[in-house]
Amino acid sequence: MDPSPDEAKLIYDWIAQTQGDVHNIFVAHLDRWHKFVPCSNSNDAIKNSNRELYKRLTTKNAYIYKEPDNLQRGMYRHASITFAIKKCGLYSKHSLGVTMRKYFNKDGALPHEVIALVATAKRYTLDQWETGMAVSGKDGIKFTESKYAAWYRAHLRNLLEWEDYAKTQNNSCYQFRQQLLTDALEHAGVTVEIIDERIEGFSIAQFAREDE
């Protein structure tokens, strides 16, 4: 079922607002996880330290891993990803993510697109520290499609490829997305029942025996 034209406009406007909310969350809270140190342009020691931290986090997309210094496993499981998803209002009680949920989580899990957007917003926030000093405001980089669409597409492609691979293994990507959605809804005070489709079902013969 596709949204009506009015619903589509609401969704489009809401997504545009959410994009801004997500990157504002990372700008405001980045120091919860990554200790960049504000400094003047003349403080070369701190600038160099900040540049090294930026390089460590952005090399091989370390910033999306649960432990950025251990890239063996934990893709998209960094605490900042979950935090931003909860805080950005995507799934607050009266948001479109809840009231029009049928368009946003058709498979009962957080859409790949949402995770890709959040990861891209984090990359944008880190890029403000590339020179060793936070560059923001009118002189700073902007969270624009022309600059960050490629990052978004790369994250989305990565997530979809993980999903396809995991379907032949233990379905880890779907389970991860399902848990993200559950956490976001619970944070918003919305109850959602998750059905584990891996649970073995009963056969017709077993049903028949119940009626003997």
Interval 95-153: pLDDT, tens:
555 555 555 666 888 889 889 989 999 999 999 999 999 887 667 778 888 888 899 99
Q: Of residues 176 and 209, which shows the higher confidence score?
A: 176
Per the structure, the count of domains in the chain is 1
CA distances from 127 to 25, 70, 177, 193 (A): 15, 21, 26, 38
- Give the model's pLDDT for residue 6: 53
- Give the model's pLDDT for residue 16: 54
- Give the model's pLDDT for residue 182: 87
Of 204, 11, 39, give the one whose Cα is nearest residue 129. 39
Six-digit token string for 171: 């379905």
CA distances from 64 to 72, 98, 103, 177, 193 (A): 12, 26, 26, 14, 28
37-96 pLDDT tens trace: 999 889 999 999 999 999 999 999 999 999 999 998 899 999 999 999 888 766 555 555
Which residue is it, tokens 């701190």? 46
Q: pTM of the prediction?
A: 0.79
pLDDT at 160 over 60: yes
pLDDT at 196 over 80: no
3-state helix, strand, coil in the chain (%, to 5): 60, 0, 40
Range of the domain at 38: 5-210
